[in-house]
Amino acid sequence: MIRHRYGDRYLHNEALEIGFRKLEVSEDLLLIGHFIFDFIFTIDLQIVTSNLLNAMSYGIEKSMFFNTEFALR
C-alpha cells in the first residue's frame, strides 16, 4: 500500500480522487443500464416464448416460425 509521507493511510492524489468520482457515476450508469437490459431482455424472452408456444399449438409445419420454405428464401 502506498503511504503518504505524513503517515496517512492512503495517498491523497487529485487524479485518484477524480477517478473515484467518475467511477461512482459510471457505476450508477452501469446499474441503470443493467436494469434497462434486464427489462428489454425479459420482454424479448416473453415474445419469443409466446411465438414458440403459438407455433407448437398450431402445429410446427403450419407455422411461419418453423416453415422451411420461408427459411430458405
Give pLDDT tens digits for 6-59: 555 555 555 555 555 555 677 778 888 888 988 888 888 888 888 888 877 776
Q: Which of 68, 65, 69 is nearest to 48 (CA)?
A: 65
Question: What cell was used for 49?
Answer: 416464448
The end-to-end CA distance of the chain, in Å, is: 63
Is pTM beyond 0.75 here?
A: no
What is the pLDDT, as a whole number, of residue 12?
56
10 Å CB burial of residue 51 (0-12, 13-18, 19+) is middle
